[in-house]
Structure 1
Amino acid sequence: MSEQTPYEKLGITETASFEEIQEAKNRLSQEYRDDVKAVESIESAYDSIIMERLKMRQEGRIKVPDRIRFPERKVEVAPSPPSLSLNNSPPWLQRFIDTPSSQELLWPTGIFLVLALLAGFSSDQASLLPLLLAFGVFTNIYFLNRKENKFGRALLITLAGLLLGVGLGLAITQLLQGSNLIGGTHQSLIGIIVFFVFWLSSNFLR
């Protein structure tokens, strides 16, 4: 069958109708169903004929019934850009970065949001901010420690977050004071920034 034309492989003439092509293909596929190579050759001949008829239809030379199955063409899919995934990051980074679920984000977000709001309204009560910061420290240690039960690491991350938050708060308040944008509320702003750093560390570090 290898030297025959597609029409000869199906045992039909070049003027055969689509019904005759389909019937010949089904009959031969059933007859040679135990011969994989023969079935593949029959399918290839059928596809070649259908593609030829499709080309003729596009040129307006014939009309193809809608029920005729055309051979599927492989569509080249453009490669998608690599996604940023924690699984592709270095192992040492995976040991520190966490990807919390929305449920796990709920409690830390709620608590630190309340603490930040209280800090924002505590500008007239200087004694309240240290209490809020102390509560924030213990809260941050709790959320970090419950992930892997490593109290030492949780304590170090919390202290580093506290120092970072205070440092950022001082730098920002200095800039704002130089621009005359704030008055005497720099302690409250520092507290808000510290709680924001705590929120980040408690959710996205482990």
Structure 2
Amino acid sequence: MSEQTPYEKLGITEAASFEEIQEAKNRLSQEYRDDVKVVESIEAAYDAIIMERLRMRQEGRIKVPDRIRFPDRKVEVPPSLPSLSLNNSPPWLQRFIDTPSSKELVWPTGIFLGLALLAGFSSDQSSLLPLLLALGVFTNLYFLNRKENKFGRALLITLVGLLLGVGLGMGIAQLLQGSNLIGGTHQSLISIVVFFVFWLSSSFLR
């Protein structure tokens, strides 16, 4: 074994990567762990190869990874940012907030979008708007009650959503009317805002 080159002692070629050198050294050291002289010869061959690679690195011929150059140095892992998952939120908030899957969002999104489109094409004098709002209320109740089977809770959230939607819709309608951006479509706009609030509550509350 003494006449062999360090690469031949490890059973690798001169084109071997650092990973292959490390793997060969570990494998042979484990295989001949009971023979101290052979293990010392393997360690010497490994050190000779590493020194040669470092010299080649100084000459700019190859790039030596830091973990080879400084095997005792611990790689510092940058601290990860705290996750903003729902699991870290207060328990009272977890009882109200829902995290639906994309599949669970399909039906509420489709229904409330359809109601909003119908309201958008209806005039303020149309008898269709009250019917659409009633459908929105029942739809919101259905989706909320289906999650927890608590009708009283679903009814309360629906009523709060209705009042919030009407208030927001009236405020937006007044702002847009003051800007001369819309004409007499207050009821339709308010209905659309209500449906948007219903979609939020039925999708992300429980």
Find the counterpart in structure 1 of residue 33 from structure 2. Answer: 32
Distance in 1 of aligned mates of 2:137 and 2:104 = 19
Find the counterpart in structure 1 of residue 90 from structure 2. Answer: 90
Unmatched 5+ stretches in structure 2: 13-23
Residue by residue over 1:90-147, the C-alpha shift from the partner in whole angstroms, topping out at 9 and shown as x without a partner, is 2211111111111111111111011101111111543211111111001100000000
Q: CA deviation at 1:88?
A: 1.9
Cα gap change, 1:43/1:114 in structure 2, threshold over 3 Å: closer, same or farther?
A: farther
Find the counterpart in structure 2 of residue 81 from structure 1. Answer: 81
Cα gap change, 1:49/1:90 in structure 2, threshold over 3 Å: closer, same or farther?
A: farther
Distance in 1 of aligned mates of 2:146 and 2:123 = 33
Find the counterpart in structure 1 of residue 55 from structure 2. Answer: 56
Cα gap change, 1:16/1:44 in structure 2, threshold over 3 Å: closer, same or farther?
A: closer
Q: What TM-score do you get using the length of structure 1 for normalisation? A: 0.75
Q: CA deviation at 1:52?
A: 2.0
- 1:17 paired with 2:2, answer no
Unmatched 5+ stretches in structure 1: 1-10, 64-69
Q: Secondary structure at the match of 2:183?
A: coil
Find the counterpart in structure 1 of residue 161 from structure 2. Answer: 161
Distance in 1 of aligned mates of 2:143 and 2:182 = 33
Task: Identify the range of structure 1 (174-183 vs 83-92) with the bigger mean alpha-carbon deviation.
Answer: 83-92
Task: Identify the range of structure 1 (168-177 vs 80-89) with the bigger mean alpha-carbon deviation.
Answer: 80-89
Distance in 1 of aligned mates of 2:46 and 2:76 = 20
Q: CA deviation at 1:159?
A: 0.3
Cα gap change, 1:94/1:48 in structure 2, threshold over 3 Å: closer, same or farther?
A: farther
Q: CA deviation at 1:87?
A: 1.7
Q: CA deviation at 1:167?
A: 0.3
Task: Identify the range of structure 1 (125-134 vs 152-161) with the bigger mean alpha-carbon deviation.
Answer: 125-134
Asked if structure 2 preserves the Cα contact closer than 8 Å seen for 1:28 and 1:42, the reply is no
Asked if structure 2 preserves the Cα contact closer than 8 Å seen for 1:169 and 1:189, the reply is yes
Q: How much identity, in percent, do the aligned residues show?
A: 68
Distance in 2 of aligned mates of 1:169 and 1:106 = 24
Distance in 2 of aligned mates of 1:42 and 1:198 = 76
- 1:127 paired with 2:116, answer no
User: What amino acid maps onto 2:52 in structure 1?
Assistant: R
Cα gap change, 1:50/1:180 in structure 2, threshold over 3 Å: closer, same or farther?
A: same
Task: Show structure 1 runs of 4+ deviating over 6 A.
Answer: 41-46
Q: CA deviation at 1:31?
A: 2.7
In the comparison of the two structures, how many residue pairs are matched? 186
Cα gap change, 1:126/1:146 in structure 2, threshold over 3 Å: closer, same or farther?
A: same
